[in-house]
Amino acid sequence: MPPRRRKHDRASLVCVTGDVQAPPKPLLLDLEPEAWPADDARPYRRQQLLSAVFETGVASLDEATSLPKAWRQALAETYALSPFQAVDRVPSWDGSVRYLLTLRDGRQTEAVYMPYDNRKTVCISSMVGCPAGCRFCATGALGFGRNLSRGEIVAQLLVIAQHEGLAPKDLRNVVLMGMGEALLNYEEAVAAIRRMIDPEALDMSPRRITLSTVGLPARIRRLAGEGLNLTLAVSLHAPDEETRQAIIPTAHAHSIDDIMDSLALWQERTNRRVTFEYTMLKGVNDHDWQAAKLAARLRGLRAHVNLIPFNDWANSGFESSSRTRIDAFKRRIESAGVSVSVRFSRGQDAGGACGQLSLQTPTEPLEAR
Ligand code: SF4
């Protein structure tokens, strides 16, 4: 089925009065569901509005035709539904689609839609750019723009559903692995996750939500106390301090021992297996001794390792390990009894693969939306 195209007017997202640009309207998605507006005489209107946004997936308040016209017009005068003034869609040959999203302040962030066999997964961002600056990551090279609000994070799911012709609840798997270090935008990222699992909103299973972090021990310990049984993916990328500090600047502030200690607490509290992301960089972190050290690091933890062939980007200065080297590295870890797989990223030709998000692939904008 071709993507269901919805129209929304770019200009309608910015209020202009004469020459003076008014501040943007509050974003409805930034409000907790219980704080969504209701008609005093008809409290069920709040439920109808939630249903229009999270079940039907309307792109504008005007499309919420289950609500009386006068009421939705009044709502639209007070609130904005979409935080995006433009949406550029870049399809990949492999079926995944990269979304370049321009926010109301003109800043841009990205999300990726990945339709696997029976699973529809979206990779979303928690920031514009990223302050972590991992050397092998195109997003890190952009630097930090700003944090996204909870509504701006959740809206990425909604806008992808709209453009892919899906209901929001068809998107059952979410990875917070796009732009940004989610645990450095802690309150907004956790609030967005709560919105995703809220039965009144997206009603997702927390187990199908993966939060990726570069490994911030204090934040991991805090997250362990949130009562969220989500999946935690830790970007380890090296088992030894020297290599890790060379490729991940924030590693200077947090030892691997401290990260592992925080993960033991996370596992004790959540009983969830921890995923480790390991980008395979030729001659940097792909030696046999590093495989052995990685396996030793993971002893005692229920863990799975994803080996990710490096996805190249302009002037990265890195090369991916060869397939032969990756296989040898994998065997070494497996032989130590650690669960491991090789994960090939999707969307490489669209610049949407892991570590490639950099706002720079030539895009063809959709019609003004
Ligand atoms: S790998 Fe993740 S944490 Fe590191 S710079 Fe890229 S987006 Fe930020």
Which pLDDT belongs to residue 39?
Answer: 80
Which atom of ligand 1 is least distant from the CA of 138?
Answer: 6
pLDDT in tens, 285-337: 999 999 999 999 999 999 999 999 998 887 888 999 999 999 999 999 999 99
Res. 364 pLDDT band, cuts 50 70 90: very low
Q: Is the CB of 134 under 6 A from ligand 1?
A: yes
Which atom of ligand 1 is least distant from the CA of 179?
Answer: 7
**Residue among 109, 125, 126, 134 whose CB has most ligand 1 atoms within 8 A, to mutate:** 134
CA of 235 to the centre of ligand 1 (A): 9
Alpha carbon distance 38, 79 (integer Å) = 13
pLDDT in tens, 111-167: 999 997 678 999 999 999 999 999 988 887 889 999 999 999 999 999 999 999 999
Domain 10-78: top CATH class: mainly alpha
Give mean pLDDT, residues 346-353.
65
Local structure of 278: helix, strand or coil: strand
Which pLDDT belongs to residue 313?
Answer: 81
Which pLDDT belongs to residue 1?
Answer: 40
pLDDT in tens, 9-24: 333 333 333 446 678 8
Alpha carbon distance 354, 351 (integer Å) = 9
Q: What percent of the chain has pLDDT over 70?
A: 87
Q: What is the dihedral of CA 248, 251, 255, 260, to 10 degrees?
A: -60
Give mean pLDDT, residues 55-61.
96
Domain boundaries of the chain, sorted by first residue? 10-78, 87-350
Residue 74 above 70 pLDDT?
A: yes
Fold: same for 10-78 and 87-350? no
**Residue among 127, 128, 139, 219 whose CB has most ligand 1 atoms within 8 A, to mutate:** 139
Residue 6 above 60 pLDDT?
A: no
Alpha carbon distance 114, 177 (integer Å) = 13
pLDDT in tens, 254-282: 999 999 999 999 999 999 999 999 999 99
The number of angstroms, rounded, from the C-alpha of 183 to the middle of its chain's C-alpha atoms is 12
* Inter-axis angle of helices 186-197 and 150-164, nearest 10: 50
Q: Is the CB of 235 under 6 A from ligand 1?
A: yes
Res. 245 pLDDT band, cuts 50 70 90: very high
CA of 138 to the centre of ligand 1 (A): 8
Q: Is the CB of 139 under 6 A from ligand 1?
A: yes
Residue type for position 4: R
Q: Is the CB of 311 under 6 A from ligand 1?
A: no
Q: Is residue 353 a contact partner of residue 311, using CB atoms and an 8 Å limit?
A: yes
Residue reference for tokens 């994998």: 330
Q: What b-and-e string marks burial along 238-269, b requiring 16 or more CB atoms within 10 Å of the CB?
A: bbbeebbbebbebbeebebebbbebbeebbeb
> Which is it for strands 339-342 and 303-309: parallel, antiparallel or unpaired?
parallel
Catalytic residue among 34, 268, 354, 367: 354
CA of 69 to the centre of ligand 1 (A): 44
CA of 229 to the centre of ligand 1 (A): 23
Q: Is the CB of 178 under 6 A from ligand 1?
A: no
Q: What is the overall mean pLDDT for the chain?
A: 89
Residue 358 above 80 pLDDT?
A: no
Q: Going by CA atoms, what residue is nearest to atom 4 of ligand 1?
A: 134
Res. 365 pLDDT band, cuts 50 70 90: very low
CA of 178 to the centre of ligand 1 (A): 8
Residue 363 above 60 pLDDT?
A: no
Give mean pLDDT, residues 96-100.
95
* Inter-axis angle of helices 186-197 and 217-224, nearest 10: 30
Residue 361 above 60 pLDDT?
A: no
Which pLDDT belongs to residue 7?
Answer: 35
Q: Is the CB of 239 under 6 A from ligand 1?
A: no
Which atom of ligand 1 is least distant from the CA of 181?
Answer: 3
Active site residue 319: no
Closest to 345 in 3D by CA, of 123, 42, 180, 21: 123
pLDDT in tens, 207-223: 999 999 999 999 999 99
CATH architecture of 87-350: Alpha-Beta Barrel (3.20)
Within 13 A of 79's CA, how many CA atoms are on the CB side?
Answer: 20
Which atom of ligand 1 is least distant from the CA of 235?
Answer: 1
Within 13 A of 147's CA, how many CA atoms are on the CB side?
Answer: 14
CA of 26 to the centre of ligand 1 (A): 29
> Which is it for strands 274-280 and 231-235: parallel, antiparallel or unpaired?
parallel
Burial of 39 (0-12, 13-18, 19+ CB in 10 A): middle
Beta bridge partners of 114: 121
Which pLDDT belongs to residue 119?
Answer: 86
Alpha carbon distance 235, 251 (integer Å) = 11
Residue 366 above 70 pLDDT?
A: no
Q: Is the CB of 109 under 6 A from ligand 1?
A: no
Give mean pLDDT, residues 343-349.
71
H or E segment to which residue 196 belongs: helix 186-197
Contacts for 130 with CB less than 8 Å, ≥ 6 apart: 137, 139, 140, 142, 143, 144, 179, 180, 181
CA of 359 to the centre of ligand 1 (A): 14
Which atom of ligand 1 is least distant from the CA of 140?
Answer: 5
Alpha carbon distance 316, 8 (integer Å) = 37
Question: pTM for this one?
Answer: 0.89
Catalytic residue among 110, 152, 164, 181: 110
Number of Cβ within 10 Å of residue 9's Cβ equals: 11
Which pLDDT belongs to residue 353?
Answer: 64
CA of 124 to the centre of ligand 1 (A): 13
Contacts for 267 with CB less than 8 Å, ≥ 6 apart: 273, 274, 301, 302
Residue type for position 226: E
Q: Is the CB of 214 under 6 A from ligand 1?
A: yes
| Residue 207: both structure tokens together | 């187990």
Give mean pLDDT, residues 64-78.
94
Q: What percent of the chain has pLDDT over 90?
A: 78
Sheet arrangement for strand 108-115 = 84-91, 97-103, 108-115, 120-123, 173-176, 209-213, 231-235, 274-280, 303-309, 339-342
Alpha carbon distance 169, 63 (integer Å) = 18
Looking at 15-19, 73-77, 247-251, 329-333, which range is the least confident one? Answer: 15-19
